[in-house]
Amino acid sequence: MKKALRIILAVALALVIVIFTAWYFFVFDRAFTRDLLLQGARFFEDKGNLKVSAWFYDRAYDMVSDNDAVAIELAQQYRDDGNYTKAEYVLSHALEEGASVDLYVALCKTYVEQDKLLDAVNLLDNISNPEIKAQMDALRPQVPTVSPEPGFYNQYISITYTCGEGERICVNPNGEYPTQYKNTYSEPITLHDGENTLYALSIGEDGLVSPLLISSYTVGGVIELVEFADPAMETAVRSSLGVSEDTQLYTNDLWAITSFTVPADTKDFSDLAYLSYLQELTIANITADNLSAISGMSQLTTLSITNTPVSSEELDVIGSLPKLQKLTLKNCRLTTSAGLANAESLVYLDLQDNTIRDIQALSSMAQLTELYLSGNAVVDLSPLANLKELQILYAARNAITDISPVFGLTKLTQLDISDNKVADLSGIGNLTQLRIFRAEKNSLTDISKLGLCTKLEEVLVPHNSITDISGLSGLTSLSSLDFSYNQVTKLPNFSKETLLVTLNGSYNQIEDLSSLSELPRLNSVYMDYNENLSSVEPLAKCPVLILVNVYGTKVTDVSMLTSQSIVVNYNPTQE
């Protein structure tokens, strides 16, 4: 019994010791435990065993996660180990628990060591605690001092930066955030002609960064001797100015040129940079690249480039021209229109014969009145839905199935959707100003709603599956109608006031031409291969008729027309 009691007492004493020890280390004196763990971490770090050291650091941080010194030391250990992601996490988590100046300094330094200058600036710019922000602002380097001041200069200038003692400067002259590895400032920066935007900041010895300094300069109107890079360009410029090849030219001499066509044998576009006041520029059938020289043409309003490759980078340059109103980029091997997203002043745009599919960039061109998209790969016209000033839209030879987005463009006067896959015109009656409608080679079966477009003058709908065109009978302004290659059986009952001049109904199933009788302006009638058509007599009462084609019909008697000197081309199928 006594022996059992001794064992129980021994076990109880051991438990008390264990519990007391745990209480002391993990509750009463957590700081002492932390220090022990830190000593272990440093010991293994000195021995080069970084994994074990990291484990001790983690446990130390878990013991007192609100201790900034532990978080900073742990982050330093991770940085020394090359694990910057873990270092960022530890410091960011500590800042969430309770912000302090020391934590902000440590995290900023961590960002700077990785060349994450944008993150470093954003960190210090957006401190929410006013007291801590005031302290950090006092610690941060001042923004670099720049000379001369930003503005407009009519001579080439060099930009210099200065900073505080022990600090260094990073400058990016291309309007982007600087990096330490590529943009450390060492000597004055010479600006180029045109717009220049420089991003600069200072970095202190303690790893803190200054706020970002953005400086904008415009260099223009610099008078200097012109040295042409391309002989063909030089010849064309001298011809435009009417000066001989012996005459020395200065940049201000070329400012008089406001309209210029680049010679077809040009190999280098760089000389275009001299034409600072150009308003109209034409480039055609040229294989030279790098159109960046036009970036300084702040007065350019009209640009036409045809049969000449244009890269996406060059398209960005074109889209940034501030006064551009008329732009032609025809057959330029474009696959995107994205670079034109900021060209909001355009009133005329021709992008025909490229391979553009997405036209979202055009959605903000609220002033556009003429748009030519034929010969691309466009599927969706919805980006055009808000172009309320649009009057002319050519979108032939694409892959369009739905044109409903344009039914709200009530100022449209011309619409060409030929060679697409459109089947539905149900909303086209909204286009009450429409004068020209072309929809050759589509999937149309019903065009009756065109009858609501009472100002129509030209309707071309050949190569569809149309059977009924009676809805066009009220279009008295109609001058040209082509419904060839369909299955139409009857002509509309045209009013005698209808201004029809040309009618092409070839390759249909028309049997009677009576509704054409006495039309006052009817000039030409093409009704070839309407196999059951047997008489052209109703046309004898058309006062200005000069030509009738009725090949492949049953017409045998045309004397009533030929007697009036009307030319009739026919080859009767029946004798």
CB-based contacts of 431-436 (< 8 A; 24+ apart in sequence): 431/406, 431/407, 433/391, 435/477
- Please tell me the predicted confidence (pLDDT) of residue 343: 94
Q: Which regions of the chain are under pLDDT 50? A: 20, 22-30, 64, 575
Q: What is the CA radius of gyration of the chain?
A: 40
Residue ranges of E strands in 154-289: 158-162, 168-172, 189-190, 194-203, 213-219, 259-261, 280-284
Per the structure block, which two tokens stand in for 203? 């970095």
The answer to whether 565 and 547 have CB atoms below 8 angstroms apart is no
Instruction: State whether residue 548 is helix, strand or coil.
Output: strand
Which residues in the chain are classed under CATH 2.60.40?
145-219
Helix axes 117-125, 101-113, angle to 10 degrees: 160
Whether residue 207 contacts residue 139, with contact meaning beta carbons closer than 8 Å, is answered with no
Q: What is the pLDDT of residue 27?
A: 46
Query: Is the preceding peptide bond at 141 cis, omega within 30 degrees of 0?
Result: no
Q: For residue 66, what pLDDT is reported?
A: 53
Question: Is 132:99 a contact under the CB 8 Å cutoff?
Answer: yes
Question: Which segments of the chain belong to CATH 1.25.40.10?
Answer: 23-139
Task: Give residue 143's identity as a one-letter amino acid code.
Answer: V
Tell me which DSSP letter residue 143 carries: P
Quick one: CATH architecture of 145-219?
A: Sandwich (2.60)
CB 106 within 8 A of CB 75: yes
The CATH class of 23-139 is: mainly alpha
Q: If you classify domain 454-575 with CATH, what class do you get?
A: alpha beta
Q: CATH 3.80.10.10 region(s) of the chain? A: 454-575
